[in-house]
Amino acid sequence: MSTSMTRNELVSWLDSYLETQRFKDYCPNGLQVEGAETVQHIVTGVTASLALLEAAVERGADTVLVHHGWFWKNEDERIRGMKRKRIAYALQHNLNLIAYHLPLDAHPEVGNNTQLARQLGFKHDLDAEGLPKGIGPSNLIQTGYLDIPETLESLSAKISDILQRDALTVGNPQQLIQRLAWCTGGAQGFMSEAIEAGVDLYISGEASEPTYHYACETSTAYIGAGHHATERYGVKALGEKVAEHFKVQVEFIDLNNPI
């Protein structure tokens, strides 16, 4: 039987578990919209879209836990249009909205980067404590290797099959890949750090125009495996951890996004 907790108990535990104080982020981490005081049913998802909120209400949830929340730095602060609809819907249905951005990317156990590596069968480089090693800003980028080298063409096809999304691939299809660096989502700007780390391939969720030139002019290939596709696993794992710790009902909803 599902039990319950207070909203504050849940948020306090999440803040501590994800070590939110370590990060200077682009949005507020933790509780973004205050809803029901008692939490009994949580829906997790990648992004706090209106569609996810509606799905949560249909399932009788009181709390939505996501990776991409609201109130991003440098966005229009006015409450109108899409933002108004989302906020109004959450308030109307007394939903708690809880979001974790960089803390969820970087977490060594349930983080997006760690979970993506598990999905794709990558072996992690480990730090002195035996945890996945991070490099770059806030140690967001993870590095590792394949037990058996594969061609870029073969590895790209495997990633596309596992993530169910055609991967954008730049580089010599026959290049052998063994050393890897990866960072989920919109992390294409970290490719220079990956190149400096001496890897054969850098993987992120999406690319920008300079990414192509980095890959063409260095020996480091690139795969853009999808922003949503690479970040669906962290929040799912976090929800499972919450369910295990608090014995509450937690349900992951994956709403398709081809980007």
The pLDDT of residue 244 is 96
CA–CA separation, 28 and 54 (whole Å):
23
Q: 138: Cβ–Cβ under 8 A, 6 or more apart, which residues?
A: 22, 23, 24, 102, 106
Res. 2: pLDDT tops 70: no
Q: What is the pairing mode between strands 41-47 and 249-252?
A: parallel
The pLDDT of residue 3 is 87
- Give the pair of three-digit tokens for residue 99: 């979001």
Average pLDDT over residues 152-166: 98
- Residue 253 burial class via C-beta count within 10 angstroms: exposed 0-12, middle 13-18, buried 19 and up: middle
Q: 10: Cβ–Cβ under 8 A, 6 or more apart, which residues?
A: 39, 63, 98, 242, 246
Res. 115: pLDDT tops 80: yes
Average pLDDT over residues 118-131: 96
Instruction: Note the pLDDT tens digit of each residue in 211-233.
Output: 999 999 999 999 999 999 999 99
**Rounded percentage of the chain residues whose pLDDT exceeds 70:** 99
Average pLDDT over residues 8-24: 97
- Cβ–Cβ < 8 Å for 146, 203: no
Average pLDDT over residues 11-31: 97
Q: 173: Cβ–Cβ under 8 A, 6 or more apart, which residues?
A: 151, 152, 153
The pLDDT of residue 114 is 98
Q: Which of 95, 107, 119, 3 is nearest to 43 (CA)?
A: 95
For the chain, the first-to-last Cα distance in angstroms comes to 38
Res. 98: pLDDT tops 60: yes
Instruction: Note the pLDDT tens digit of each residue in 46-93.
Output: 999 999 999 999 999 999 999 999 999 999 999 999 999 999 999 999
Half-sphere exposure of 178 (CA within 13 A, CB side): 4
Give the sign of the dihedral formed by CA 131, CA 121, CA 202, CA 20.
negative
Long-range Cβ pairs for the range 199-206 (8 Å, 24+):
199/143, 200/175, 200/176, 201/152, 201/155, 201/171, 201/177, 203/159, 203/230, 204/230, 205/229, 205/230, 205/231, 206/259
- Cβ–Cβ < 8 Å for 37, 6: yes
- Residue 140 burial class via C-beta count within 10 angstroms: exposed 0-12, middle 13-18, buried 19 and up: buried
Res. 245: pLDDT tops 90: yes
Number of other CB atoms surrounding residue 172 within 10 Å: 13
CA–CA separation, 11 and 231 (whole Å):
21
